[in-house]
């Protein structure tokens, strides 16, 4: 099975939902992780993987406003029907792949660097989704296995929130609430978790 067929097969559960779906991947050997991929449905349902064959993806959901903005950028790019690669000679920053799928209609574009503002904007959205998923994994792992590391994980989450790098922020609430209510965690971690949870719950819908 080719990589192309394998990726389409793994994206099938979301792609099968009503409406179009978007696929993003970045392959950057030597980085950590060396590969990431995200599938986003028009419903806002998303899945994050760190290997094409990963059969246990991290699921999360974007808000309607976040989802609408990402798909609007895909519309501006004519669903990746045209090349996005810049002719400029720049350092390798990872092979990015975008794919639009709607029933039998599929379009794909790959690039290392693009000068197109819409391409750069949608890339940043998927980078934020990647960062958000990795922070979720780190937070959940720390809460379960590394109680002393919880404060660091919570603090990293708070920094990302303050710098507007989080998407689908409500995905963190179950773990944050568990930390807040469990006195076995450090008091400072519980206080910081409470501040972040309050900020997420009180935030206006993302634009």
Residues 168 and 61: beta-carbon distance below 8 Å:
yes
Taking the C-alpha atoms of residue 87 and residue 200, their distance in angstroms, rounded to an integer, is 41
For the segment 132-158, what is each residue's pLDDT rounded down to a tens digit? 999 999 999 999 999 999 999 999 999
Residue pair 41/71 in contact (Cβ under 8 Å)? The answer is: no
Tell me the two tokens of residue 102. Answer: 């709607």
- What is the CB neighbour count within 10 angstroms for residue 45? 17
What's the average model confidence in pLDDT over 52-57? Answer: 92
Q: How far is CA 194 from CA 24, 62, 141, 180, in A?
A: 33, 22, 18, 6
| Predicted TM-score (pTM) of this structure | 0.89
What's the rounded Cα separation, in Å, for the pair 172 and 158? 11
Between 44 and 55, whose confidence is greater? 44
Give first-to-last CA distance, the chain, whole Å. Answer: 40
pLDDT of residue 40: 98
């Amino acid at each position: 099975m080719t990589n192309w067929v394998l990726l389409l097969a793994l994206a099938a559960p979301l792609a099968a939902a009503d409406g179009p779906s978007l696929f993003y991947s970045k392959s950057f050997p030597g980085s950590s992780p060396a590969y990431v991929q995200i599938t986003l449905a028009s419903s806002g349902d998303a899945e994050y993987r760190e290997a094409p064959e990963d059969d246990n993806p991290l699921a999360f959901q974007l808000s309607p406003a976040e989802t609408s903005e990402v798909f609007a950028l895909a519309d501006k790019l004519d669903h990746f029907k045209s090349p996005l690669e810049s002719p400029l000679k720049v350092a390798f920053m990872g092979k990015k792949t975008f794919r639009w799928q709607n029933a039998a209609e599929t379009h794909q574009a790959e690039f290392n660097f693009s000068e197109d503002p819409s391409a750069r904007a949608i890339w940043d959205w998927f980078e934020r989704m990647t960062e958000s998923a990795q922070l979720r994994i780190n937070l959940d792992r720390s809460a379960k296995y590394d109680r002393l590391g919880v404060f660091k994980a919570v603090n990293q989450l708070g920094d990302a929130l303050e710098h507007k790098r989080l998407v689908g922020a409500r995905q963190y609430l179950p773990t944050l609430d568990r930390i807040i209510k469990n006195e076995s965690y450090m008091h400072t971690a519980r206080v910081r978790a409470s501040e972040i949870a309050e900020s997420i719950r009180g935030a206006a819908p993302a634009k």
